[in-house]
Amino acid sequence: MTSPTAQESTRLIPVARGNLPALGHAYHLWRHTLEFLDSLRAYGGVVRINIGTLPMYMVTDPELTRRVLTSESRHFETGGRMGDNLALIFGSGVGTINGDGHRRQRRILQPLFNRSYIAAHTDVMRDAVRGRVSGWREGIPFEAAAEMDRVMVAAFLTTLFGPTLPAPREEEFYRLLRTLMKGVMRKTVAPSWANRVMVTANREFDRALARLRQIIGDLIREGRQSPEAAGGVFRAMLAARDPDTGAGMTDAQIADEAVTMLGTTGEAPGTALAWALHEISRNPDIQRRVRSEVDTVCGGRPPGPADLAALEYTRCVLTEVMRHHGPGYLFTRWTTAPVDLGGYLIPAHANVAYSQYIVHHDPAVFPDPQRFDPDRWLPDAPTVSRSSYLPFGLGSRQCLGENFSWTAMLLTVAEIAARWDLHPHRSRPVKPVASTTVRPHHLTITPRARTTGPGAA
């Protein structure tokens, strides 16, 4: 048990209002997600909510959230309701295991996700993105969230398995992942009794998981039999060795890591890109600045790693998208012992949650948090608290796929800006809906071919 500092004293953990019989706060968390999360900040640094009758301790203070992820992380293992449900999909992948197993897997996988390795795969990733973006039709609107999910799934599948994966298999991966990730959030926020009666939804989840595991297992067997035919990061995973022991990964470990990578690097960056298209399409000045930067940096040629590093303003737009719009909003941990967190006494074996949305919309950290302002991230702008910016987490469990996600998102925006002017299909406000990520509901974008500039048709 950790001890409070001299400035901290034991605080009673309040219970949020709106606790309903049998449901607890699950109804508010599911139906009014962002409004409910915003309301929790008023209770103090930690507030208790109930999922059914199960207590969950929500950390709302940015500094306490940082402690959970960094200096106090030894007391907060991966797990809790969301972590346990993710483990149904990811198995014992690096995102769900703890202790020595986590450290070992991270040591093996880390080289496959550093900047230089991802840079070496930029060309195949870019070609996958271009294959989707160049297929848009002039003046024909598309649903942004679904399309950006497909772009990211295509980019990552190409990076993971190489460019020869058949298109029908790519579409099947997309559908399976959507079913599974939606199921995870449903299982997380619904009371246990409600999950038990959702028979049809649970069967769909189980079928999708079995099919995804079957596909991955087949690919692993094919890769073991013909290593020269395996492509991308997958080939490197088959050959990867623990730098300390020289041991490789078993087929089960490779399957868990492949599914983990697919689940964590598809929907979140896809959702962020959908929101980016929303902001770019409805803000002519932002669109002009992004387009001008892409034209200046790339000059009409395919963007490479050096070009992506030079897209300063475009990166600011994406940085602000991930602050303002999420995409993540709820993550859970499991306490290994009683913990004193800033004077709040949290019991052992408790579900502890933190929210990127709560931290990123705290006015004490990000002034005027409801305003979308990419300029707040420019180098010469007033300093913002980067220690409270956590779209990829913090500490020893920071997302391994961060470099991939940045590369894929910057490539996608650059490819779109070089070819298309974007316009909102409808003028009505876009509603954010919390699923696995905070997704824009019925966001449709109309692309118009550019008539000027290096990328003009």
Annotation: binding site: 399
CA separation for the pair 242, 56 (Å, rounded): 37
Task: Name beta bridge partners: 340.
Answer: 345
Strand order in the sheet with 420-424: 142-143, 444-449, 420-424
Q: Checking phi first, is residue 343 left (phi over 0); if not, alpha (psi -120 to 50) or beta?
A: left
CA separation for the pair 440, 450 (Å, rounded): 25
What number of H helices and E strands is found in the chain?
A: 19, 12
CA separation for the pair 290, 275 (Å, rounded): 15
CA separation for the pair 230, 236 (Å, rounded): 9
For residue 149, give Cα distances in angstroms to 8, 86, 171: 45, 19, 11
C-alpha Rg value of the chain to the nearest Å: 22
Q: Say whether 233 sits in a helix, a strand or coil.
A: helix
Task: Give the DSSP letter of residue 400.
Answer: T
- In 3D, which of 114, 121, 119 has the Cα closest to residue 159? 121
Number of neighbours of residue 143 by Cβ within 10 angstroms: 15
Q: Are 30 and 189 in contact (CB under 8 A)?
A: yes
Strands of 54-172, DSSP E: 54-59, 76-78, 142-143
Q: Enumerate the known binding-site residues for heme.
A: 399
Contact partners, residue 100, CB within 8 Å, separation at least 6: none
The stretches of 190-241 forming alpha helices (DSSP H) are 192-197, 199-225, 232-239
Strands of 46-158, DSSP E: 46-51, 54-59, 76-78, 142-143
| Residue 207 token pair | 């079928």
Q: Are 269 and 315 in contact (CB under 8 A)?
A: no
Contacts 24+ apart (CB under 8 A), 4-7: 4/340, 4/342, 4/343
| Residue 200 token pair | 């049809």
| Residue 420 token pair | 């298309």
- For every residue of 42-59, DSSP letters joined together read GG-SEEEEEETTEEEEEE
